[in-house]
Structure 1
Amino acid sequence: MTALRPDVAEPDRDGPADVAQAEGNGLVQLHESIATLLASRGQWRQAYQHLRSAFDLACADQDEQPKIPEQLRREVDRLRREHAEAREQSLRDSLTDSYNRRYLDQRLVDLESGRGASTPGLAIALIDLDWFKQVNDTFGHLLGDRVLQRVVELLQEDLPKGGFCARYGGEEFVLVLPEVDVTTAVEIAEAARLRVERHAWQSLAPGLRVTVSVGLACESDGEDPAARAPVAPEQQLLRADSLLYTAKQSGRNAVAYREGGRVRLAGAASGRRGIAESRVAGY
Structure 2
Amino acid sequence: MNTATLAGCGALLLWAFLALLARLAAGVPPLQLTALAFATGGAIALGVVAAQGRLRLLRQGPLAWAHGVGGLFGYHALYFAALALAPAVEANLLNYLWPLLIVLLSGPILGLALGPRRLAGVGLGFAGCALLVGAGASFPPGAAWGFASAIGCAVVWAVYSVTSKRMAAVPTEALAGFCLATALLAAFAHALFETTVAPDARQWLAVLLLGAGPLGAAFFLWDAGMKRGDPRLLGTLAYATPVASTLLLVLAGEGALDGRVALAALLVAGGGLLAATARDPVSPSRR
The two structures have a TM-score, normalised by structure 2, of 0.26
Which protein has greater RCO, CA pairs closer than 8 Å, 6+ apart? 2
Larger radius of gyration: 1
Which is helix-richer, 1 or 2?
Answer: 2
The two structures have a TM-score, normalised by structure 1, of 0.26
